[in-house]
Structure 1
Amino acid sequence: MVAGMPGARPTGGRAAGRLVRLARAAAAAFICLLVVRALAGWRPASLASPSCLEGCVSAQHVPGQPAAKQKKRVGWVGHTFDARPPSGLSVLEARQVASENFGNLVWAYGAWQLVDHNATQLVPLEPPGPYTAPVEVVLLPTANMLMNASKYEAIKAYTNTVLGIAEAVTAPIVLVGVGSQVRFEDQHGGGGGGGEAAAASDFSAASTVVLHPQQVAFLRRVEQSGGLTITRRKFTAALVEGAGLAPALPLGCPSLFINHDPSLGASLKRKWEAVVAARDPKLRLAVTLPKVHKDLPPPTDLLRLLAERVLGAFPASIVVLQTADDMNTLQLLHDRHGLYLPPHRIRYFYDVESWVDGLAACCDLVWGFRIHGTMAALMAGVPGVVISRDFRIKELAEAMAVPSADILHARLDPDAFDLFDFLEGSVAGAFAGFDARRRQVARVYAREFKRLGLALHPGIAALAASTG
């Protein structure tokens, strides 16, 4: 107010009145703030525990009722599955929110679902760090990171990242599903086409692989942490022991437990036998494509077999893409073998739950060259078979009792191949030991998680407790 106006108060009175008005306004604002925060779920610090402020679910304790149990904080390394990705993305767009190989999501999701999320808070440990979040255990799912030192540059950056995490944390580390990326021809000098037939695919080749010192240092740090190393199967386990480390647990991939039905294998076996018995040319077949290595000639005979004896022979078949390179393989099938697939026969999934649901709705059988494309099918209750072209796929399939055929012995003759003969002859006894193997692996997880104080997913715990 300006001095001298009608009704003006003395200067001292103006100041006192202003203070009163400010105090009233501040009180009103504070009350509004409390109301807004109450509606948003906030409570004053006196009513909130430190764990609640860190993001876990907590509630004010009510006398006479048990207090809410605090979740165990477990470090997580890798892709997170807190939210579903947006739909409608192209393959190239999906790579930005998922992975360059959509199959990687299947094993990562399997590892994410190993724990009981009602008792566990997964805390992402994201590079470049610092990795200072307090955690009691670290869950580190990884894929085919181990390889001969001569090829180390391809995995150097990732190795340094996980080694940095392992050295920074003090909690036990659970390394889940580590595998090797060693092709049959890398060890035996075979080529990309017919030369592969001369190679041998026995696991004795592990003795010729020498790991880089950084990879050995990473594995040793996991061992020293008091955690455990879970490998894909025998080949990778042999690499670990060959590096002078303690024996690993060869349990396969955690995607084995996405479906918790204790009789899943029996159901898959019945469906498999029905497919073989029917020999229906209208079979709703899903095909996963082989990886075409850029440093090798295209596998001409294999591509011709796909074009003429599989995709061309079954008009109701579809292709399930897992990488952008698979689109190049489709182009090769068109340019060299005249195969054209309309858009409705080409599919891809970059969300695991959609993948499982999609295969359950569309297909009677999955056949092809991608282990995690096959695992998505099995978890959907759809029988499938994978053809292994390297030690990684071979050892994974054998570790989980998944129907498989070694490409070197699979009789994939492009002039004579018959899918149903292949299913009967090359994959005899499909799913015979699948349920028993799942129970066996689940029991190992139950034992080791109990040792580390980790809450195992109830569905896996039920599998471990089930009987055949």
Structure 2
Amino acid sequence: MHLLARHQIPEANKDISAMQGVLSASAKQYLFREIKMRRPIILGGNPYIMDYHRKTAKELFDETGGNSGNLAFRFGVANQLVNPKFLSFSTPTTEIKKQGDIIILPLANQLGKHTDLAHAADRLAEINLPVIGVGLGAQTDSKDSDVVLTAGTTKWLETIAKLAPSASANIGTRGEYTKYQISRFGFESSAIVTGCPSNFINFNTDIIAQLAKGFRSRPRNVAVTAGIPFIPSLSKLEQDLADMVSVTGGAYIVQHGLQMLQIARNEFDLIPADILELCRNYIAPSKKMDEFITWCRQYAYAFYDVRAWMDFVKRFDFVVGTRFHGAMLAIQAGVPAACIAHDSRTQEMCETMGIPVCHYKDIQGGLTLGNVFDYFSFDEEKFRACRQQLCRSYISIFDAADVEITKGLRGLAI
């Protein structure tokens, strides 16, 4: 496919001239040259779960990579590219090369001692196509410490850097902290800060004014982005959040942990008794087990389609909890939302993108409907400026690689 930069259409030329002053250097170069666009393949990141209503929580847990929040950034990338193909890592190399010319990897918190990506590194080297990775994050307990990588994950990072489609950066990071960690391994020029692709799901900038207006009113109907029952330091906070759901007739939206997904799908019989008791004690210790199960049936939800998820949260006037992508999807729907951070990944993403955030250690004396906005505020102009600048950096990765993006995404950078 070829695109000729200046078509012989006066209106188009006027539009291009008007845009020159606000576009990045890479975008200007993109507009005024003849380009053979690469055909993008999104590898291992399909956001569309087929027949999810027929599947068990375990099947859905596996298909979403252990966290339904992964669907958020996968959906973002899929809707920002023009005609991407979705293929799995197990697709034969010959078929991959027949389907496209460049690999797009929607990424998460792969940089950490919890991963060993040697197999993925070998697979990318075997395919041997140019690679773009977006949304990469480093995971540690605190941003005050450096990330530790296994040999396999170090090899994976090196492989992606080597397979860059141009001399420009081909890895979009969640923030400066991750970019710095990448530089420690010798790949500083490979990375650029873009935030998470989920920040650019909604191409309508009117949502920013909606968010600001929402933060000027105390919440009455709250949805919670639920945590997991294996972090003892967060148990009191999780109980406060669950109480807010009960008080407001809200929703308890789960993303991660097989037992949490099972709770939201009424699969209580499949949860080991000791794990179910752990969940009850973590979320609602004052309730008896039968009361807890009834509460879950009333308030617990899980989503496997980003569109349905965003549509659902529009009925609430505030979303809060420890899950970043649950909050981000609310924000993309124009619903005020905030994150409670407990590690480097959530803190970094929120600070990078201007998402309201508070570290759990800074919440003293409990979280209630009456004091929740004392811990969170929304800076409309900061969010707007951050989003625009991050979008320009994000677009620059695709422009440098000759990958066609949607008009909606490009419009966010103007």
Structure 2 length-normalised TM: 0.77
1:25-424 mapped onto 2 (5 Å cutoff): 72-81=38-47, 84-87=50-53, 89=55, 91-95=57-61, 97-117=63-83, 121-122=84-85, 124-127=87-90, 129-130=92-93, 133-134=96-97, 135-148=100-113, 154-156=114-116, 159-184=117-142, 203-206=143-146, 209-227=147-165, 228-247=170-189, 248-274=191-217, 276=218, 283-293=220-230, 297=232, 299-308=234-243, 310-312=244-246, 314-323=247-256, 324-326=258-260, 327=263, 328=276, 330-333=279-282, 336-338=285-287, 340=292, 341=295, 343-360=297-314, 362-409=315-362, 411-414=363-366, 417-423=367-373
Q: CA deviation at 1:440?
A: 1.0
Post-superposition Cα deviations, 1:264-322, rounded to whole Å, max 9, x if no partner, equal 21221112213x2xx6xxx22101122333xx6464432443344x234x231210111
Tell me the equivalent position of 2:28.
Answer: none
How far off its partner does 1:171 sit?
2.9
Q: Which runs of 5+ in 2 are unaligned?
A: 2-34, 264-275
Identity across the alignment (%):
23
> What is the identity, as a one-letter code, of the residue corresponding to 2:215?
W
Secondary structure of the 1:433 match is helix
Distance 1:162 1:457 in 2: 28
Which amino acid is the alignment partner of residue 155 of structure 1?
T
Q: 2:320 touches 2:338 (CA, 8 Å); kept in 1? A: yes
CA change 1:96–1:88 in 2 (3 A) is: same
Separation (CA, whole Å) in 1 of partners of 2:344 and 2:52: 34
Q: Is the 8 A contact 1:403 1:431 kept in 2?
A: no
User: Does structure 2 conserve the Cα–Cα contact (< 8 Å) formed by 1:307 and 1:333?
Assistant: no
The answer on 1:461 being equivalent to 2:410 is yes
Which position in structure 2 is the counterpart of 1:440? Answer: 389
Asked whether the 8 Å contact 1:73–1:123 carries over to 2, the reply is no
Q: 1:84 Cα deviation (Å)? A: 4.8
Higher RCO (Cα < 8 Å, 6 or more apart): 2
Distance in 1 of aligned mates of 2:372 and 2:398: 40
Change (3 A) 1:145 1:446: closer
Greater shift, 350-359 or 96-105, is seen at 96-105
Please tell me whether the aligned partners of residues 135 and 173 of structure 2 are also in contact (alpha carbons under 8 angstroms).
yes
Do the aligned residues in 2 keep the contact of 1:269 with 1:432 (CA within 8 Å)? no
Aligned partner letter, 2:299: R
Q: Which amino acid aligns with 2:345?
A: R
Tell me if structure 1 keeps the 8 A contact 2:132–2:160.
yes
After TM superposition, give the deviation of residue 83 of structure 1 in Å: 6.8
* CA displacement 1:346-396 (0-9 Å, x = unmatched): 211111111111112x21110111001111111122111010111011111
Is the 8 Å Cα contact of residues 253 and 396 (structure 1) preserved in structure 2? Answer: yes
Larger Rg: 1
Q: Give how far 1:136 is off.
A: 2.2
CA displacement at 1:81 relative to structure 2: 4.2
Is the CA contact (8 Å cut-off) linking 2:93 and 2:127 kept in structure 1?
no
- The root-mean-square deviation of aligned C-alpha atoms, in Å, is 2.7
Distance 1:263 1:315, change over 3 A: closer
Q: Which residues of structure 1 form unaligned runs of 5+?
A: 1-50, 52-68, 149-153, 185-202
My pick for the range that moved more, 105-114 or 297-306, is 297-306
TM-score (structure 1 length as normaliser): 0.69
1:298 and 1:444 map into 2 onto residues whose CA distance is 37
Matched position secondary structure for 1:260: coil
Secondary structure of 1:387's counterpart equals strand
From the superposition, tell whether residues 461 and 233 of structure 1 become closer, same or farther in structure 2 (CA, over 3 Å). same
Say whether the 8 Å CA contact 2:224–2:242 is kept in structure 1.
no
- Asked if 1 retains the 8 angstrom alpha-carbon contact of 2:239 and 2:283, the reply is no
